[in-house]
Amino acid sequence: MLQLSVFLENTKGRLAEVLNLLAEFNVNIRALSLADTKDYGVLRVIVENPEEVAAKLKDRNCVVKLTPVWVLKVADKPGGLASMLNKLVAEGIVVEYMYAFVERENEQAQVVIRVRDVELMQKAIKKYNLE
């Protein structure tokens, strides 16, 4: 799946501006994470039709990038995420970042994962039937 990332300067109201643009495009945000540093932040969102949204944001002078990520179901119980990560670690996968959300319809816990080595991840997904 492609995640939409937006570069955000640390200026007052900039995050709200970008979120207002998404509202204007009638885009629903399924999952969201915000990485922040002293001078700037990176907004990462999972949305429907990310390519189309990215193009629209670009037209409005946003710096955007589509990044391949995996959205995986996790057991919503103690140790659910840990046991999944243990499998990935055993396969030599390095996680760059991850964030979790809960799907409304079926209350299913899910995580968005960005990894360094895409091929290793594909193998692991198949091996453990994770998707």
Residues that bind another protein (CB under 8 A): 3, 5, 7-9, 14, 35, 37, 39-40, 42, 44, 58, 61-65, 67, 96-97, 114
- Which residue, 59 or 105, has its beta carbon nearer to another protein? 59
Give 56 or 73: the residue with its C-beta nearer to another protein.
Answer: 56
Q: What is the sign, positive or negative, of the torsion defined by CA atoms of 103, 45, 15, 17?
A: negative
Q: Half-sphere exposure of 71 toward its Cβ, with a 13 Å CA cutoff?
A: 16
Q: How far is the CB of 49 from another protein (least distance, A)?
A: 18
What is the three-class DSSP state of 87?
A: helix
CB of 59 to another protein, least distance (A): 12
Task: State the DSSP H helix or E strand holding residue 80, giving kind and residue range, or none if neither.
Answer: helix 80-90
C-beta of 14 vs 30, nearer to another protein: 14
Q: 46, 31 in Cβ contact below 8 A?
A: yes
